[in-house]
């Protein structure tokens, strides 16, 4: 028994599992309390954010509703003014019609008499009131005035949606990126790393340059918020300002787009453009793209006769026939486009020290195609001189 007693040292006999367990219980309870406070804080913050968000959107809706009310009031004022003028003219003509009718009866009665002098005097009186009435004024002036309002509202709608989308996406991305940096309690749920496009050496660009073409922007197609410079090779979105271009059927009225003057057909063509830190859609379209309105038939890539790449903040997408393909590529200041009509391909390249294939469309390019651009706010784009 004495041997058994020597199995435990004095230090080991001081160890108490119960005390250690109690300590762990206290630590865990403290951690639970902190997480509970964290959960309460999350709920309170989220609720406060919801309320603030609702208030901000309510303010936005009120501003839109106020603008709507003012627009409707303007239209109604113009309508009432024109109706008042038309009603007054109508009453005047009705009074004149009554007088003419009475005069007709009198002249019929006088025609049965033989007093030629009296008949002559009455005929002169008839001439004074018998002048042909003026035709009602054309409604073209009213339609023109209201048409300007309608175009202004449509343009405002596009701009609001464009700016709202840009501001929302940009701030959302910044918020998500900041949250990813701060998140450390679990693995990141961010998207997979971007795939880099296949790179070619500079000799491939030299081959493309054999097909370089000289293109210029067409002033007759450019929308009013876009400004031309550098011999019609540079376009800048100058919103909220606008240019005083003349009216013509080829001009885009709402979409901030411009076509190139030259048409490309039945060959191989290569050109490059430079894009600043702004955003744009770069592509080609048939000339039959609609110029008036903001429907898909007017917008690059949103119909079956145009193809484009859209640069939107940190996003790059390929568009055709309203089908979007998100591209896992970075931004390039210079973009090269190669239209190969015999092979039926439209290729987009990022041009730097090397050339990178961004995306390639396959289609039958049998009709004349025009290089085309949609320019977002605070953006300038230039066609590069290659020759």
Other C-beta atoms within 10 Å of 23: how many? 10
The more confidently predicted of residues 38 and 15 is: 38
Helix (H, G, I), strand (E, B) or coil at 286: strand
Quick one: pLDDT at residue 145? 65
What are the structural domain ranges in the chain?
14-137, 199-383
pLDDT tens across 294-346, in order?
888 999 999 999 999 999 877 899 999 999 999 988 888 899 999 999 999 99
- Please provide the size of the chain in residues: 387
User: Distance between CA atoms of 221 and 8, rounded to whole angstroms?
Assistant: 97
pLDDT tens across 50-89, in order?
887 788 778 878 878 887 888 788 888 888 888 888 888 8
Helices (H), 130-275: 140-182, 202-208
User: Distance between CA atoms of 281 and 319, rounded to whole angstroms?
Assistant: 9
Q: Phi, psi at residue 90, to the nearest 5°?
A: -65, -45
DSSP state of 241: -
Decide: 300 and 374 in contact? Cβ < 8 Å. yes
Helix (H, G, I), strand (E, B) or coil at 202: helix
User: Distance between CA atoms of 126 and 114, rounded to whole angstroms?
Assistant: 18
pLDDT tens across 165-210, in order?
555 555 555 554 444 443 333 333 233 334 445 555 556 888 899 9
Residue 299: partners with Cβ closer than 8 Å, 6 or more residues away:
255, 257, 306, 374
Nearest alpha carbon to residue 165 among 339, 300, 313? 313
- Return the minimum-mean-pLDDT range out of 81-85, 116-120, 185-189, 371-375: 185-189
- Return the minimum-mean-pLDDT range out of 45-49, 131-135, 281-285: 131-135
Give the pLDDT mean for 92-121: 70
Superfamily of domain 199-383: SPRY domain (2.60.120.920)
User: Distance between CA atoms of 118 and 124, rounded to whole angstroms?
Assistant: 10
Helices 140-182, 17-110: crossing angle, 10 deg rounding: 180
pLDDT tens across 234-275, in order?
999 998 889 999 999 999 998 999 999 999 999 999 999 999
- Return the minimum-mean-pLDDT range out of 131-145, 167-181, 276-290: 167-181
Helices (H), the chain: 2-5, 10-14, 17-110, 116-129, 140-182, 202-208
Helix (H, G, I), strand (E, B) or coil at 134: coil
Quick one: pLDDT at residue 98? 81
CA distances from 213 to 103, 218, 236, 272, 356 (A): 79, 15, 22, 9, 20
Quick one: pLDDT at residue 131? 59
């Amino acid at each position: 028994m004495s041997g058994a007693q020597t199995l435990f040292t004095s230090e080991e006999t001081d160890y108490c599992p119960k005390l250690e367990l109690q300590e762990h219980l206290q630590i865990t309870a403290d951690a639970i309390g902190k997480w509970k406070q964290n959960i309460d804080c999350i709920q309170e913050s989220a609720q406060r954010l919801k309320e603030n968000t609702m208030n901000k959107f309510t303010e936005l809706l009120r501003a839109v509703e106020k603008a709507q009310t003012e627009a409707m009031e303007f239209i109604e004022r113009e309508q009432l003014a024109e109706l008042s003028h038309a009603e007054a003219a109508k009453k005047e003509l009705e009074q004149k019609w009554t007088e003419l009718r009475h005069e007709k009866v009198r002249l019929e009665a006088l025609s049965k008499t033989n007093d030629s002098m009296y008949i002559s005097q009455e005929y002169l009186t008839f001439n004074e009131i018998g002048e042909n009435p003026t035709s009602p004024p054309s409604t073209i002036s009213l339609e023109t005035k209201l048409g300007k309002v309608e175009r202004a509202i449509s343009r405002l709608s596009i701009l609001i949606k464009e700016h709202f989308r840009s501001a929302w996406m940009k701030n959302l991305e910044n918020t998500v990126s900041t949250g990813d940096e701060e998140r450390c309690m679990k693995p990141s749920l961010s998207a997979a790393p971007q795939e880099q496009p296949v790179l070619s050496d500079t000799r491939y660009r030299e081959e493309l340059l054999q097909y370089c073409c000289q293109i210029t922007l067409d002033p007759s197609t450019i929308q009013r918020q876009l400004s031309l410079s550098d011999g019609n090779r540079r376009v800048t979105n100058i919103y909220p300002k606008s240019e005083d271009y003349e009216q013509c059927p080829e001009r885009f009225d709402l979409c901030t787009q411009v076509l190139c003057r030259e048409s490309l057909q039945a060959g191989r063509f290569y050109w490059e453009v430079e894009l600043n830190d702004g955003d744009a859609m770069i592509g080609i379209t048939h000339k039959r793209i609609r110029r008036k309105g903001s429907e898909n038939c007017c917008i690059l890539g949103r119909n079956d006769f145009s193809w484009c790449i859209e640069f939107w903040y940190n996003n790059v997408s390929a568009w055709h026939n309203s089908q979007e393909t998100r591209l896992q590529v970075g931004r390039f200041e210079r973009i090269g486009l190669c239209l190969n009509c015999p092979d039926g391909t439209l290729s987009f390249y990022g041009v730097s020290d090397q050339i990178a294939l961004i995306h390639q469309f396959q289609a039958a390019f049998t009709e004349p195609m025009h290089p085309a651009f949609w320019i977002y706010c605070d953006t300038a784009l230039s066609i590069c001189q290659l020759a």
